[in-house]
C-alpha cells in the first residue's frame, strides 16, 4: 500500500490497552522509544492487532506542537 504520509516508522506492538470506544496501542520503535496511538476498538479488531505484531506507525499532521 502506498501512502502520502512520509513519516512512517516500523516497530513492534508492545502493549494494547482496551477502552470503551478507543484503545491505546504502544509501539516499540527501537532505541528505547515508544510511540503511543489512540485508535478505535473497531480498528484494533479489524486489523487483528496483537502484542508482538510488526506494524508501521504512520504520522500525518499539519501541526506538531512542543511545550516546555
Question: Which one, of 25, 30, 28, 65, lies nearest residue 44 by Cα?
Answer: 25
The pLDDT of residue 60: 81
pLDDT band at 21 (very low <50, low <70, confident <90, very high): very high
In order of start, what are the domains of the chain with their CATH numbers?
A: 7-59 (2.40.50.100)
The pLDDT of residue 3: 82
Residue holding cell 494494547? Answer: 16
For residue 9, count other CB atoms closer than 10 A to its CB.
Answer: 14
> What global pTM score does this model have?
0.86
pLDDT band at 28 (very low <50, low <70, confident <90, very high): very high
67 pLDDT more than 90: no
- Cα 61 from Cα 52, distance rounded (Å): 26
pLDDT band at 24 (very low <50, low <70, confident <90, very high): very high
As a whole number, mean pLDDT of residues 31-36 equals: 95
Amino acid at each position: 500500500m502506498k501512502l502520502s504520509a512520509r513519516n512512517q516508522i516500523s516497530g513492534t506492538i508492545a502493549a494494547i490497552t482496551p477502552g470503551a470506544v478507543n484503545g491505546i496501542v504502544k509501539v516499540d520503535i527501537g532505541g528505547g522509544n515508544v510511540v503511543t496511538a489512540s485508535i478505535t476498538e473497531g480498528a484494533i479488531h479489524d486489523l487483528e492487532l496483537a502484542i508482538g505484531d510488526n506494524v508501521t506507525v504512520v504520522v500525518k499532521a499539519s501541526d506538531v506542537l512542543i511545550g516546555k
